[in-house]
Structure 1
Amino acid sequence: MAGLLNSTSRMRISATWAQGSRARTRISAGWTGDSRTDAGLGGVARRVVLLAGNGVRVPGCSWFNPRMRPAAEPLTLTQLCTARATTHGGRLAVGDENGALSYADLASSATSVAAQLAGLGVGAGDRVALIGANCVPWVVAALGASYAGATVVPIGHGSSHTERTRILDSLRPRLVITEPPTTRHEPPSTTSPGTTPGEASTGSGRTPDTGPSPLAVLTFADLDVGGGHPPPAHISPDSAAVVLPTSGTSGAVKYVAMTHRQLLRLYTDVSATVGLTEHDRLLGVVPLAHSFGLNGVLLISLIAGAYVRLARRYAAGQLATLIRDERLTVLAGPPTIYHDLASGGRAAIGGTCRLAITGSTAISAPTMRATCDLLGIPEIVVGYGMTETCGTVALGRIPGEVGAAGPELAPVPGVEVRIAGEAGEPLPPRTEGRILVRGFNVVRGYATDRGRARDTEWCDTGDLGRTDEHGLLTVVGRSKDSMIVSGFNVRPAEVEDVFTRHGAVADIAVVGVADGRQGQRLVAFLVPRPGATVDDEDLIAFGRTHLAAYKVPRDFVVLGELPRTATGKVARGRLSATAGSREARDA
């Protein structure tokens, strides 16, 4: 494959729109087309380089010396964007169904948006919330906020009004940038009487006496990508670049602040590990509001100078066509994506895909290997991490011939993994225990903790695993109640709280069962109210009005009472076993 046709479009800046007396240029829905030819892929079947901590060599891994990086590597997201505009200015950076932007155009558009945001009072220390599906304007808005010195707060496009409001109330951003309302998801209540979209708030989230101040709201169509360019804001590498919610270790929603330095150091190594080059073309279907989509897809591509083709939503029937027509070389996402593509085989996606990147849930190595063989994808890289570790702890590959065990993963440089017993004591190799992590990527606190540091330098991931004599990690399961559905954390308590407000439900407990497509699938055991009739479709519709779709159980099992322990807690282990038995019986 000496060459690869890259049919793309370049953004056309529309005529102006007016708000009051000020006219702005906005991102248009129209694009003008041209075509561009990228250089060959090179090394389609080359081996993936695995990283071992601090450059130690382990079986199956290549030497890696983190000190061999360029001396002037970027330390912030804005330095990275500016650098790529210089080194890869004419190459394509991001695209969606409407067209694509080069690295030079991306930096120019982002700095113009930064000037617009600065005019609205956004500056260092502020937070800017982004609500929207994966698209080029989302990326421009995020980088524009970074150039203005602000911290980006991505909010899931599929999140409910309740979830959005909770995030906004907790983090109090200075500005919200959102897509126009849809029939299913109305925007959060971010305005108050007298505050209109585009109007700046009067304070940085709060007023001294009255609490929350009104939020300014812009839509993606309001973004000024053709205006002036501000003087560069001073951005410390140790300032927060992005804040993402998590419920991974405690079950309670918390907000993780990831610094520029952490993200650039970590994902420079990740990009090198998976072997990305400037010639690669990545699938960007994992939501950018998720660490996998934002860091594990978009950021590693920007670091490599590659191209990301964003997909607004996951539509299994259309994904194969997108991959084939865009001639994508790297697929990234949870096993669900590959499972859905497998029925069409290699012919459905074309012959350009050389690499699959997966993670975010339990991985069956034999299943994943067999699926990628059907798709004609020779290389598979598996990542393990959590939001509190900036999304990544360890990486590994699934070889051509695998046994029943999960993939063996090498910690990235500067990150240590310890397997510990219940009292925190280190356990010997090949002994199963709790996975603890420490290193530069572990966050020291949460965005809502007002600077309070973690109680310990070791982060308890809530997962179970073991290491071998060389330090390679195998993850065997979760030790806590949180479940992972299609790569997303689900807290049982959150789901149960919603359904207890349904008129037919007296008591409910939600557990996860293994699912070949989603990793885990939710099953709800409920006790109905006296005289009430339980209707599954009604319960599902009720859940979808309050929760993101992946948090809504599809199976409801009616019980006379929930099993409980001697202390009165729900016996989730017994319910999980019951759910597993039902699955086995119905298989």
Structure 2
Amino acid sequence: MDLPFVVATLTRRGLLAPGRPIRVASQLAALRTWGWSLAGELRQAAARDPDRTAVVDEHGTELTYGTLLRRAEGLARALRTAYGVQAGNRIGMLCRNHSGLIETIVAATLLGADAVLVNTGLSPAQLAAVAEEQALRVLVHDDEFAEMALGLAGALPRLDERAREELLANALPGDLRPPGRDGRIIVLTSGTTGAPKGARRPTPNGFGPLVSIIDRIPLHVRDRVMIAAPLFHTWGYAALQVCFALRATIVLHRRFDPAATLAALVEHRCNALFAVPVMVQRLMEVPPPQPRPALKVVAVSGSALPGGLAPAFMNAYGDVLYNLYGSTEVSWASIACPADLRQAPTTAGRPPHGTRLAILDDAGQPVPAGRVGRILVGNEMLFEGYTSGIDRERHDGLLDTGDLGRVNADGLLFVDGRADDMIVSGGENVFPSEVEQLLAQLPQVREAAVIGVPDEQYGQRLAAFLALHPGETLDPDAVREYVRHYLARFSVPRDVVFVKYLPRNATGKVLARELRRYYG
């Protein structure tokens, strides 16, 4: 990434503002010594702004950057002494959004250990598989997951919240030196279609990844940010990295509740929110507080924006919505700013600075504008492969996302869905996401999902699952006629199923396997 662009972006966002010389020197020394891991980012923030509030939880408990660093260092020493954790070991973390999870991630990276961020929506069997496959040295978990943790086989040490606090309170003093290797962050794939896989996230090697994001999403030093997206997810963890770099104040709630989130945004004077699309949809379903939160950024990622949500939300809260399209494997691919979403509400936007994006056919050749192909991405933060040793297809430095999409004549990216979600019905290629977006625009529909199911005559057919707003009704034939009016006949779902809600994982993605159970 070219230096003038980096300097200009850092200046615009306040990162190059002058400060007390001794603190600036300490900040730079922390980055030089500890690098760009989460531990290094926290150290630089604590060196520059030790008394600034780093984290606030739903009970109003506040930790400054200096205190957060001291607690993470103490926990690192305690884990090393009590459990022999060292560089290269793996620590499992089954936690919701709170400061204890942040402290544990930082403690792991201080030791050069890998932090395995466990999805809180995993089943006991999936957790057991993760513990075995990742060869966990210790599992740190919230109290609510105690029963599931106790069900794990073997002598894996388990630390609930009280045990973690006791361990921290009894930590011996001592110095921590940079480990011989960087601890990796291992994010588990969402597991919507099967067992989750561990993806090794690289450690940033400079300002490049941060600049790519904050150039397009206007976050500034010392912002006040609520992270509603799960920290165990790539998007929530990315938000944490950005906040540390910007020395922001982070507001966390263990569980997402739309009314409580809006109240917290006002109470803590937040000007930014990181969320997943379904959370934004839920915010639109509750009365906004008065005064409304003074938001300048609402950044979403993790799943597709439902049709009509972007303009409706911006009409209510202003042109503050930013949609990042990416994945655990590629980090980010494109960012849609408010102007993009006003122009095309379902767009994934454009690649940020330093990112390459290509739409290729099955032979690896670029396709013309407007034609659907495989989405491949190149940037500084492509994952290092799955912990199983398997990698994704790469082509000329680009990584295959597994998604299909197209770029229009204006350069805007549209994602048509997963390549393995596309169905062939009567010889025609059909994208369920296109039908989902259309159905989501019906005023009676709260949320919609469309999947492919087996069909004896056509091979596959579409089935639509609709959750309606309270008090609303729809006729299945009217739904089919509505789709027939806008799309080709082979896109009309022959099955229309009404449900109370769509099954989703903790990051808001619809669990298609749960819907398929309707068909045995």
Is the structural similarity TM-score above 0.5?
A: yes
Distance in 2 (CA, whole Å) between partners of 1:412 and 1:152 is: 28
Distance in 2 (CA, whole Å) between partners of 1:404 and 1:272 is: 21
Matched, 1:463 2:403: yes
Q: Which residue of 1 aligns with 2:212?
A: 269
What is the aligned residue count?
Answer: 433
Q: Which residue of 2 aligns with 1:421?
A: 361
Question: Against the structure 1 CA distance between its residues 222 and 574, is the aligned structure 2 distance closer, same or farther, given a 3 Å change threshold?
Answer: closer
Q: Does the Cα contact within 8 Å between 2:53 and 2:64 map onto a contact in 1? A: yes
Question: Against the structure 1 CA distance between its residues 440 and 430, is the aligned structure 2 distance closer, same or farther, given a 3 Å change threshold?
Answer: same
- Cα deviation, residue 118, structure 1: 1.0
Q: Which residue of 2 aligns with 1:294?
A: 237
What is the SS of the residue equivalent to 1:371?
helix
Match of 2:163 among 214, 222, 226: 222
* Matched ranges for 1:201-212 at <5 A: none
Q: Does the Cα contact within 8 Å between 1:77 and 1:264 map onto a contact in 2? A: no
Q: Which residue of 2 aligns with 1:563?
A: 455
Q: Does the Cα contact within 8 Å between 1:369 and 1:400 map onto a contact in 2? A: no
What is the SS of the residue equivalent to 2:400?
strand
Distance in 1 (CA, whole Å) between partners of 2:86 and 2:101 is: 19
Matched, 1:435 2:375: yes
TM-score (norm. length: structure 1): 0.65
* Matched ranges for 1:371-410 at <5 A: 371-374=313-316, 376-389=317-330, 391-399=331-339, 402-404=342-344, 406-407=346-347, 409-410=349-350
Q: Does the Cα contact within 8 Å between 2:334 and 2:349 map onto a contact in 1? A: yes
Question: Against the structure 1 CA distance between its residues 266 and 419, is the aligned structure 2 distance closer, same or farther, given a 3 Å change threshold?
Answer: same
Q: Does the Cα contact within 8 Å between 1:327 and 1:352 map onto a contact in 2? A: yes
Question: Against the structure 1 CA distance between its residues 220 and 252, is the aligned structure 2 distance closer, same or farther, given a 3 Å change threshold?
Answer: closer
Match of 1:126 among 89, 95, 98: 89
Q: Does the Cα contact within 8 Å between 2:9 and 2:211 map onto a contact in 1? A: no
* Matched ranges for 1:62-101 at <5 A: 64-65=5-6, 74-98=35-59, 99-101=61-63
Distance in 1 (CA, whole Å) between partners of 2:447 and 2:422 is: 13
List runs of 5+ in structure 2 lacking aligned partners.
11-15, 17-27, 424-434, 466-490, 501-520
Question: Against the structure 1 CA distance between its residues 264 and 339, is the aligned structure 2 distance closer, same or farther, given a 3 Å change threshold?
Answer: same
Matched, 1:156 2:140: no
Q: Does the Cα contact within 8 Å between 1:190 and 1:217 map onto a contact in 2? A: no
Question: Against the structure 1 CA distance between its residues 269 and 88, is the aligned structure 2 distance closer, same or farther, given a 3 Å change threshold?
Answer: farther
Distance in 2 (CA, whole Å) between partners of 1:443 and 1:221 is: 34
Structure having the higher strand fraction is: 1
Cα deviations by residue, 1:25-83 (Å, 9 ceiling, x for unpaired):
xxxxxxxxxxxxxxxxxxxxxxxxxxxxx579xxxxxx944797688754222111111
Distance in 2 (CA, whole Å) between partners of 1:455 and 1:465 is: 17
Question: Against the structure 1 CA distance between its residues 252 and 442, is the aligned structure 2 distance closer, same or farther, given a 3 Å change threshold?
Answer: farther
* Matched ranges for 1:484-503 at <5 A: none
- Cα deviation, residue 257, structure 1: 0.2
Q: Which residue of 1 aligns with 2:78?
A: 116
TM-score (norm. length: structure 2): 0.73
Distance in 2 (CA, whole Å) between partners of 1:160 and 1:477 is: 26
- Cα deviation, residue 380, structure 1: 1.5
Question: Matched residues, percent identical?
Answer: 21
Q: Which residue of 2 aligns with 1:481?
A: 421
Question: Against the structure 1 CA distance between its residues 79 and 580, is the aligned structure 2 distance closer, same or farther, given a 3 Å change threshold?
Answer: farther
Distance in 1 (CA, whole Å) between partners of 2:175 and 2:450 is: 49
Question: Against the structure 1 CA distance between its residues 154 and 248, is the aligned structure 2 distance closer, same or farther, given a 3 Å change threshold?
Answer: closer
Q: Does the Cα contact within 8 Å between 2:347 and 2:412 map onto a contact in 1? A: no
Distance in 1 (CA, whole Å) between partners of 2:222 and 2:464 is: 49
Question: Against the structure 1 CA distance between its residues 401 and 189, is the aligned structure 2 distance closer, same or farther, given a 3 Å change threshold?
Answer: closer
Q: Does the Cα contact within 8 Å between 2:451 and 2:462 map onto a contact in 1? A: no
Distance in 1 (CA, whole Å) between partners of 2:168 and 2:214 is: 29
Question: Against the structure 1 CA distance between its residues 229 and 191, is the aligned structure 2 distance closer, same or farther, given a 3 Å change threshold?
Answer: farther
CA RMSD of aligned residues (A): 3.7
Q: What letter matches 1:78 in structure 2?
A: A
- Cα deviation, residue 86, structure 1: 0.6
Structure having the higher helix fraction is: 2
